Structure 1
């Protein structure tokens, strides 16, 4: 990423940012460069940046965030089973190519530039995969429009998975959101908020110049604790938080809980033009219900106050359903070099798409919202 001027990349990745915020901050040059400059990606991480660009008359006209991967960690679209099956059959699954934002399960544009060049980028990425003898190409958390337009290109497979998002139905405040829920869910959320606030902690929502390096020191401790328990080791380095402090403070909402002057828990969000994206959380002591307050309810409060249309709270987690977050389909594209493996994966994806569609339908029907007008 350091080899590509920021203004060239961002003109393709987020042209809307000329008049305001980027739709999402994760494909911006500054975010991808922060990963690289902090050594969160690069040598020894299994994520080697190889951004793909298309030039016309020495001018970059399209691009894709592309990485050489030597494992399947930090992707959130799981293909470990494919890798194990191929290895058992005598194949070599790694390295592979990944069109993605590392460690970031957020839907966004992956084919940067004019829509007319999407197929060109896809064909070029497949050609790179073939030329280097790699097993496969995976474009993860692309937009639905990208997935539908490119499924089938040279045998590209379409995968549908799901995650949970909160949607703003024009709520004036958090109380209006609660009024939209069934009585049982309203009582549960009120009880959780009361429990979280009963610890006597002070909650602060910080962004921009309000965030200091001391806040990042505290959040690093929270992140290490959560990362160590979830993944064995955190994906991001301490330097990543220094990089985004330098270049992206205005894109960050950091919600911290203080015991007196000491930060004891925090949730990191990134701010998009239309959505708030919850990314990481951590705590250095046990405070019941504080996770729900910092990660979900504070995010909803903040989004309502600023007229954002939704909160995306990251991958997985059916427990989010009871707290107003409904299931939404996410999309990815996969090209597999070996015809036998490609056929097997295609059969699996056909079944998975049907299953995911049925699950989204069922979970939505059992969601926390009132089913009919007047129901309490």
Structure 2
């Protein structure tokens, strides 16, 4: 019996594939109308990035999406982009690019297999059920082949799942470990149940921060579905651009992106708005997965003590508990999250380096970094806010 050949196609736009074909691979669990595990790899999210001009010409993110076909059937897809910089990735390789170029190489363009501007863990090799092993292998090999044929310096698969990282490493890719802070729902029925799991000092601190935050002279509301209205995005755009100007120089997303989100994804949104006198003055944007709440953007027009902690962290925990979600991912970085119940976790990425000598150097670096991340996570976890587990002595 001969094996059926799998072909790999590269798409420069999602317009070249039907949304139901993409989503049959990206979110088959949502086929019957349920919520997708990961909202960011859905057709509607990735296409919103393209249609709004947030990726594409002039952005440094040129779509090069992969499609794996077995005869006439699409069995796998992957969001991939040609990059002319390393911005908007959150697992950064700036030091790699500097070292490579100092040695006389040209680091850009490179290929990035990822969701742009989104440091959230999820499947990157989106394979239709029933084709898991063969589809994953075909997409990994296809991505490497495309990178080699294009003669780019490197290929990077960021915020992939642990299973993908293990499989990719076995196929010869370099595996990298990074750090984030996530809140885990340990079966809490209320926010007070969560507080009860904390040490007395941390519990008092959080209660004080919440009182201070909610004393800003206005009200905080959580909007989702049809409660999210177009005018809310006008306010949030001001928050987002203010934060973007201070952090990145210019926003990654365009104003049109939020209009597309309003049209196609408002059921996947939890928008937290703080208003005073009927005017929104701060907000935090979250996307809702099947079991995870993903915190993405925060911004404000007025500074009020502890309002950032309330809108981004405590309201997110409250929402997750109320809706039975298992985890809150509050974005990249931020050791300040530790005191608020968000514990350190490892995130994963995979890397292919064209130049053999440079690859060996990066591999040595990653081995040292891996040990450092593990040690730092263990050390930080020991300083977490939760009560120490008492171990009974046994005779």
Residues 7-27 of structure 1 show CA distances to partners (whole Å, capped at 9, x for unaligned) of 000000111112411111000
Whole-angstrom distance in 1 between the partners of 2:89 and 2:73: 31
2:155 matched to 1:137? yes
TM superposition score normalised by structure 2:
0.93
Correspondence list, 1:271-282, <5 A:
271-282=288-299
Alpha-carbon distance, 1:56 to partner: 1.5
**Helix, strand or coil at the partner of 2:251:** coil
Match of 2:275 among 244, 258, 264: 258
Whole-angstrom distance in 2 between the partners of 1:3 and 1:365: 50
After TM superposition, the runs of 4+ consecutive aligned structure 1 residues lying more than 4 A away are: none
Residues 242-267 of structure 1 show CA distances to partners (whole Å, capped at 9, x for unaligned) of 01001100000000001021000000
**Helix, strand or coil at the partner of 1:363:** helix
Whole-angstrom distance in 2 between the partners of 1:158 and 1:115: 20
Match of 1:3 among 16, 25, 44: 16
Whole-angstrom distance in 1 between the partners of 2:230 and 2:167: 44
Whole-angstrom distance in 1 between the partners of 2:38 and 2:73: 25
**Helix, strand or coil at the partner of 1:172:** coil
Match of 1:83 among 97, 101, 112: 97
2:342 matched to 1:325? yes
Partner of 2:256: 239
Partner of 1:339: 356
Match of 2:285 among 261, 265, 268: 268
Whole-angstrom distance in 1 between the partners of 2:192 and 2:277: 28
- Structure 1: which 5+ runs fail to align? none
- Structure 2: which 5+ runs fail to align? 1-13
Coordinate RMSD, CA, aligned: 1.0
Partner of 1:228: 245
Match of 1:110 among 124, 136, 147: 124
Match of 1:356 among 373, 380, 383: 373
Alpha-carbon distance, 1:152 to partner: 4.0
**Helix, strand or coil at the partner of 1:2:** helix
2:189 matched to 1:172? yes
Partner of 2:140: 122
Whole-angstrom distance in 2 between the partners of 1:72 and 1:167: 30
Alpha-carbon distance, 1:58 to partner: 2.1
2:30 matched to 1:12? no
**Helix, strand or coil at the partner of 2:81:** strand
2:87 matched to 1:73? yes
Whole-angstrom distance in 2 between the partners of 1:54 and 1:24: 20
Whole-angstrom distance in 1 between the partners of 2:245 and 2:199: 37
**Helix, strand or coil at the partner of 1:286:** coil
**Helix, strand or coil at the partner of 1:258:** strand
2:106 matched to 1:92? yes
Partner of 2:36: 22
TM superposition score normalised by structure 1:
0.98
